[in-house]
Amino acid sequence: MDDLYREQIIDRYKNPQMRGNLDPHDYSYEDDNPLCGDRIRMDLRVDGSGRVTEAAFSGEGCAISQASADLLTEKVVGMSLDEVKSYTKDELIEMLGIDLGPVRLKCALLSLKVLKAGVYGLDELEEELAAL
Amino acid sequence: MAVPQTLDTLDVGAIRKDFPILKRETQEGVQLVYLDSAASSQKPEQVIHAMSRFYETEYSNVHRGIHTLAEEATAAFESARDRVAEFVGAESSRQIVFTRNATEAINLVANSWGRANLGEGDLVLLTQMEHHSNIVPWQMMASELGFKIEYAPMTDDQRIDLAEYGALLERQPKLVGFTQMSNVLGTINPVAEMAEMAHAAGAVVLVDGAQSVPHMVVNVADLDIDFLAFSAHKLCGPSGIGALYGRRELLEEMPPFMGGGEMIKRVQFDAFVAAELPSKFEAGTPPIAQAIGFGAAVDYLSKLGMPAIRQHEQEMIERALEQLEEVPGVRVYGPAAEHKGGVAAFTLADTHPHDVAQILDRRGIAVRAGHHCAMPLHEKLGLPATTRASFYLYNTPEEIDSLIEGLYAVREVFA
Ligand SMILES: Cc1ncc(COP(=O)(O)O)c(C=O)c1O
């Protein structure tokens, strides 16, 4: 009935594949969007060559934010940190496969913001993050 | 949509015809159902036309002009002030200061009255159900002037706890500020009683009328309050203008808020003399056409009658609460309908309010989702956000039915 709530989004929201915490971890970061109360934490484990071997997310919020986090967390496993760095918001939006207005875009991109800030720190990505 | 039988003395079918936007569809074949008037109301033709007519025929800057248009524009502008004054029962139009909105009206009091009257050791008493606009200006001044802020708590059914309020008054706050109607809970506070208690404790009383003035009779003399802040955009008027009513002695003693043109009687290189009320608080060119629209809006509401509007909304909220409570998983916040205005904030099981609002939007239903500029209140409720449906004079029982059907659709998506 609703293209925004495509099966994939609802399914990932209801049955997340990547939910959890990794302790210990190599990278962990948490952020929220106080406007809607979306909150996401992402934990990564990385091997000696800088490749993500394990990832998990936790948090709460709307279906879009949580499904996006679940899909992104899955996607990131196997990527090198350089690939994580160059992963764009357009790629994430394409993976979600939905057309979002500006407010909901913030929900969808919170996970990407958390991922990038966790790996590279907020300062280095200031400009890119400000655009998220 | 079939226009419903009137519930009461308001002819809602006729009223809807006055609001051009209500005819629109949000997507092809999807009729707009506007349930977001607590954020901002829609505008009737009477207001839209008054403003465009003014721009087409009388527009000029106001005051000080010698030419015909300046005189006509000034007369129209000041006449709007007169009607706004009358609308809230102010003794004199000089006690109505035009501001940008309710928020600016509160900031004006916090800055001007606050600076002259508040300092270390003083207390300002607010309530837990305030909008950010009646919290943050006080926090800003408190950090500058060193006074303290307390928040009167609510009862379990989210009304003001008068016993606790009374106890806090014993600490002799210099100012008590509270909303007449909560924009989240819908709670209507007993303003006259609270003002009387506050006055007995020696406090000045500021009422946030942003949600009440559009929906019920608000008479500053009957309520015996010192300040009232409200916005035109929530009462069928334009955005960009609001008003502060103030007790005359207080306004007269208060220093100007902003400086510039219009607010002065005389300026020299080393000093100025402030103008009389209300110009003292109206620096710069005012929102002129907006004032014309504000006047037209209060005329429109007065003609229909505020008691009839209140009655309609009362019937709408009773009906809405009844129907909402039947939807499995819905929890409505705020007191029983008899203590409430036309606002229903709710949650639907653990579906996020954004998801609820988004799916409703696909059905043309405009509601608001979030913290509604009342984060401390939501924290108190233990919720990051709620979905809020709010009603006004143009809403129909059929629109409540649409909302309810929409909520069943949300349930289906998230089943
Ligand atoms: C209770 C209350 N107070 C104050 C305001 C602020 O109104 P404005 O944004 O028009 O200044 C609002 C508006 O949402 C409100 O609901």
- Contact state of B354 with A4 under an 8 Å Cβ cutoff: no
Sign of the C-alpha dihedral computed for residues B244, B180, B133 and B359 taken in this order: negative
**Closest to A120 (Cα-Cα) out of A12, A7, A44, A6:** A44
pLDDT score for A2: 55
For A75-107, letters b (16+ CB in 10 Å) and e give bbeebebeebeebebeebbebbebebeeebebb
Tokens of B194: 């609270």
* pLDDT digits 0-9 by tens, B186-211: 999 999 999 999 999 999 999 999 99
A64 touches chain B (CB under 8 A): yes
Cα dihedral sign, A21-A24-A27-A33: positive
Per-residue pLDDT, A35: 74
Name the maximum alpha-carbon separation found in chain B: 72
Contact B245, B96 (CB under 8 A): yes
Residue B262 pLDDT level (bands cut at 50, 70, 90): confident
Alpha carbon of A18: minimum distance to chain B alpha carbons (Å): 20
> What was the pLDDT predicted at B7?
45
- What predicted TM-score, i.e. pTM, was given to this entire model? 0.92
What residues have CB less than 8 Å from B310, skipping those under 6 apart?
B215, B216, B217
Would you call A73 helix, strand, or coil by DSSP? helix
Give how far B194 is from chain A: nearest CA, Å.
32
Q: What is the mean pLDDT of chain B?
A: 95
Helix count (H) and strand count (E) of chain A?
A: 6, 3
- Ligand 1 in contact with B37 (CB < 6 A)? no
* B85-135 per-position pLDDT tens digit: 999 999 999 999 999 999 999 999 999 999 999 999 999 999 999 999 999
Check pLDDT > 70 for residue B5. Answer: no
CB contact under 8 A, B358 and A104: yes
Cα distance between residue B203 and residue B201, in whole Å: 6
CB of B165 within 8 A of CB of B151? no
**Is B38 within 8 Å of B343 (Cβ atoms)?**
yes
Token output for B345: 């904030």
Span B332-353, average pLDDT: 96
Q: Which of B352, B358, B370 sits opposite A61 (nearest CB)?
A: B352
Contacts of B231 (CB under 8 A, 6+ apart): B101, B102, B103, B210, B239, B241, B242
Strand partners, B149: B124
**ipTM exceeding 0.90?**
no
* pLDDT at residue B2 in the model: 46
Residue tagged 């952020």 (tokens): A31
pLDDT band, very low/low/confident/very high, at B251 (cuts 50, 70, 90) = very high
- pLDDT of B159 reads 97
Asked if B173 and B181 touch (Cβ cutoff 8 Å), the reply is no
Which residue out of B133, B211, B372 has the highest number of ligand 1 atoms within 8 Å of its CB and is therefore the one to mutate?
A: B133
Q: How does pLDDT run across B69-84, given as a tens digit for each residue?
A: 999 999 999 999 999 9
Kindly give the confidence (pLDDT) of every residue in chain A, 132 residues in length, as a single tens digit, with 9 standing for 90 and above: 456 677 888 899 999 999 999 999 999 999 998 777 789 999 999 999 999 999 999 999 999 999 999 999 999 999 999 999 889 999 999 999 888 888 788 889 999 999 988 888 766 555 665 555
Contacts of A62 in chain B (CB under 8 A): 352-355
Atom of ligand 1 nearest to the CA of B39: 14
Instruction: Give phi and psi for B10, each to the nearest 5.
Output: -85, 135
Q: Answer whether B354 sits within 8 Å of A5, measured CB to CB.
A: no
For residues A57 and A42, is the Cβ–Cβ distance under 8 A? yes
B132-184 tens-digit pLDDT: 999 999 999 999 999 999 999 999 999 999 999 999 999 999 999 999 999 99
- Binned at pLDDT 50, 70 and 90, residue B3 comes out as very low
Q: How far is A2 from chain B (nearest CA, A)?
A: 8
Please list, in sequence order, all residues whose beta carbon lies within 8 angstroms of the beta carbon of residue B62, skipping any fewer than 6 positions away.
B70, B73, B74, B77, B78, B285, B286, B288
Alpha helices in B288-350 (DSSP H): 288-304, 306-326
Peptide bond into A24 cis (omega under 30): yes
- B358 close contact with A: CB closer than 8 A: yes
Query: How far, in Å, from the CA of A36 to the mean position of ligand 1?
Result: 19
- The pLDDT assigned to B1 comes to 43
Q: What pLDDT is attached to residue A122? A: 62
Structural domains in chain A plus CATH codes = 7-119 (3.90.1010.10)
Work out the percent of chain B whose per-residue pLDDT is above 70: 98
Q: Catalytic residue numbers of B?
A: 373
For the segment B220-225, the average pLDDT, to the nearest whole number, is: 98
DSSP H/E element including B402: helix B397-413
> What is the position in ligand 1's atom list of the atom closest to the CA of B179?
1
A107/B contact by beta carbon, under 8 A? yes
Q: Torsions phi, psi of B382, nearest 5?
A: 75, 30
* A contact test, residue of B348, B351, B352, B373 with most A CBs within 10 A: B352
Cα–Cα nearest to B343, from B216, B184, B212, B188: B184
Q: What's the CA-to-centroid distance between A58 and ligand 1, angstroms? A: 35
Across the interface, do A36 and B369 touch by the CB < 8 Å criterion? Answer: yes
Buried b (16+ CB within 10 A) or exposed e, B89-119: ebeebbbbbbbbbbbbbbbbbbbbbbeebbe
Task: Give the whole-angstrom CA distance, residue B132 versus residue B375.
Answer: 8
A36 lies within 8 A of chain B by CB: yes
> What are the structural domains, with CATH classification, of chain B?
12-37+305-413 (3.90.1150.10), 49-302 (3.40.640.10)
Nearest CA in chain B to A64: B355
Q: Which residues of B123-139 are buried (b: 16+ CB within 10 A; e: fewer)?
A: bbbbbbbbbbbbbbbbe
pLDDT of residue A128: 62
How confident is the model at residue B264, as a pLDDT?
Answer: 86
Coil, strand or helix: which one is A44? strand
| Cross-chain residue pair B414–A62, CB shorter than 8 Å | no
Say what the pLDDT of residue B212 is.
98
CB B131 within 8 A of CB B155: no
Q: Is the CB of B99 under 6 A from ligand 1?
A: no
Closest approach atom of ligand 1 to CA B242? 10
The answer, for B355 touching chain A at a CB cutoff of 8 Å, is yes
Radius of gyration of chain B (CA): 22
Chain A to chain B Cβ contacts (< 8 Å)? 48
